[in-house]
Amino acid sequence: MYNFEFAKPKTVEEAASAMAAEGAQALGGGQTLLPTMKQRLASPEVLVSMTGIESMVGVAVRGDTLTIGGATTHAQVAADAADLYPGLAALAANIGDPAVRNRGTIGGSLANNDPAACYPAGALGSGATITTNTRDIAADDYFQGMFETALDEDEIITSVSFPIPEKANYQKFDQPASRFALVGVFVAKTADGVRVAVTGASNEGVYRWTEAETALSASFSEGALESMSGNLDDMIADLHGSASYRAHLVGVLTRRAVAACG
Amino acid sequence: MPTITMNVNGTAVSANVENRTVLSAALREELGLTGTHIGCDTSQCGACVVHVNGKAVKACTMFAVEANGADVDTIEGQAHVDGSLNVIQQAFQDHHGLQCGFCTPGMIMSAAALLKENPKPTEAEVRDYLEGNICRCTGYQGIVNAIMAASGQTPAIAAE
């Protein structure tokens, strides 16, 4: 990998000024960025580590909202959110493997927006708000396609706020080699209706499956989905699974998630 | 080059590293601690697992500068001071938890992290925890048996 300048600020303000440098990039746990840099697919001139900013680490609940600091690891979310938002904690507990979960962060995952990552489904399915050093972005506006987000180049995800739903569950069909989702579905039942977010399946990245949301908002049951499956036109097809296989999994996993909500 | 200081296996050490140097390379090449193995160098195989501030991490996928000031524990620090094997290492020997030995440092460090969090894991929990540690010799049963034995439990399936 190419060398780079390294900054490890203690505050969001220091991080924001470090990010203003030409060629600067934020570094969370590095579980995606390091392998990418080793392959020279990324070569930032300055890496700004977020892991030394204490105010960006931790899980807090206020009212019906769970707020997670942008530099909080998956392992910490899995542990600290287990009683507060079990559906989301379970998602975090099944990302990658234990060592990856001890480094990887929610902010890093959401900033990267890998089309097969778990957190985008959790954030979009929950209707979360992504808070940066400059603004709040609704999840519905944040995810803009494969590896594309609403973030500006020098913007930092400082925290993510999740309205805690009545019930939620994430079903992940593992791609066993990468431990990413071949398909993953997050279902959240709230007082305002049901949200269904799908990762791993679409060429457009994470998306809301609105047909299923409508059906489940009318009747929150597996039967409401009957034999529904994902829209074939949007599906990723690769050596791990054909478009029709992924479309089928979208239906199956959504039904499993509803069943698991109880 | 930046100078980093770490507390490695209980001893304060310092090393000059480039910003791009990963922790596995710093341990092996700067500190001579070659027990941490580099298998895939892409965070898939787990041969490089060490503990940073008590947490298992893949040393190939963490910059050494990020470990500045941290407590780092490697396989070299696992045996007792007199050189005798610790309970996990001894169980790996007793239960055929290794063959070629390449994955073993990472397996031992992952096992140690698991048993610290969960002193009496089920066999399923052991297998789940080893998701990020790949062994191409044993078929895993000996490794799982060893970790079950190290936790003071009888392995469900006796090794041949």
Residue B115 lies in a domain: yes
**Cβ atoms of residues A75 and A94 within 8 Å:** no
- For residues B95 and B157, give the distance between their C-alpha atoms in angstroms, rounded to a whole number: 11
The tally of domains found in chain B comes to: 2
* pLDDT tens by residue, chain B, 160 residues: 899 999 999 999 999 999 999 999 999 999 999 999 999 999 999 999 999 999 999 999 999 999 999 999 999 999 999 999 999 999 999 999 999 999 999 999 999 999 999 999 999 999 999 999 999 999 999 999 999 999 999 887 654 4
Min distance A6 CA to chain B CA atoms (Å): 6
- The whole-angstrom separation of Cα A252 and Cα B18 is 48
Identify whether B157 is part of a domain: no
Interface of A with B (CB under 8 A): 1-6, 8, 27, 30-31, 34-35, 37-38, 47, 49, 51, 75, 96-100, 102-103, 177, 179
Domains of chain A: 5-163 (3.30.465.10), 167-261 (3.30.390.50)
> A8 and B41 in contact by Cβ < 8 A?
no
In this prediction the ipTM stands at: 0.95
Chain A residues lying within 8 Å of B23, measured CB to CB = none
Q: Which among B42, B60, B131 has the least Cβ separation from residue A97?
A: B131
Domain CATH code at residue B62: 3.10.20.30
Return phi, psi of residue A165, to 5°: -80, 170
Among candidate residues B45, B77, B109, the one where a domain is terminated:
B77
Note whether B129 and B92 are same-domain residues.
yes
Nearest residue in B to A100, CA atom: B57
Residues B67 and B125 in one domain: no
Q: How many CA atoms lie within 13 A of B112 on its CB side?
A: 25
The beta-carbon contacts of A18-23 under 8 Å, at least 24 apart in sequence, are A18/A46, A18/A48, A19/A48, A19/A154, A19/A155, A19/A156, A20/A154, A21/A45, A21/A46, A22/A46
Q: Across-strand partners of A138?
A: A129
Q: Are residues B73 and B93 in the same domain?
A: no
Domain boundary residue, one of B77, B99, B117: B77
DSSP, collapsed to helix, strand or coil, labels residue A125 as: helix
Helix (H, G, I), strand (E, B) or coil at B84: coil
Query: What pLDDT, on the 0 to 100 scale, is given for residue B159?
Result: 47
Q: Nearest C-alpha of chain A: how many angstroms from B151?
A: 19
> Residues B72, B102: one domain?
no
Burial class (CB in 10 A: 0-12, 13-18, 19+), B153: middle
Crossing angle for the helix pair B141-150 and B87-94, to the nearest 10 degrees: 140
B158 falls within a domain: no
Q: Which domain holds residue B17?
A: 3-77
Write out the residues of chain B at the interface with chain A, using a CB-CB cutoff of 8 A: 2, 18-20, 22, 41-44, 46, 49, 52, 55-58, 60-63, 65-66, 110, 113-114, 129, 131-133
For chains A and B, count residue pairs whose Cβ atoms are closer than 8 Å.
73
- Return the HEC string of A32-43: CHHHHHHCCCCC
Interchain pair A51, B56: CB under 8 A:
no
- Report the b/e string of B86-113 with b at 16+ CB within 10 A: eebbbbbeebbbbeeebbbbbbbbbbbb
Residue B61 is nearest to which of A6, A31, A177, comparing CB atoms?
Answer: A31
- Identify the pLDDT of residue B50: 98
One digit per residue, pLDDT tens: chain A, 262 residues? Answer: 999 999 999 999 999 999 999 999 999 999 999 999 999 999 999 999 999 999 999 999 999 999 999 999 999 999 999 999 999 999 999 999 999 999 999 999 999 999 999 999 999 999 999 999 999 999 999 999 999 999 999 999 999 999 999 999 999 999 888 889 999 999 999 999 999 999 999 999 999 999 999 999 999 999 999 889 888 888 999 999 999 999 999 999 999 999 999 8
Check residue A108 and give its pLDDT: 98
Q: Which of residues B50, B77, B104 is at a domain's end?
A: B77
B131–chain A nearest CA distance, Å: 6
Alpha-carbon gap, residue B16 to B30, rounded angstroms: 8
Instruction: Give the pLDDT confidence score for residue B158 in this predicted structure.
Output: 56
Residue A213: count other Cβ atoms within 10 Å of its Cβ.
Answer: 19
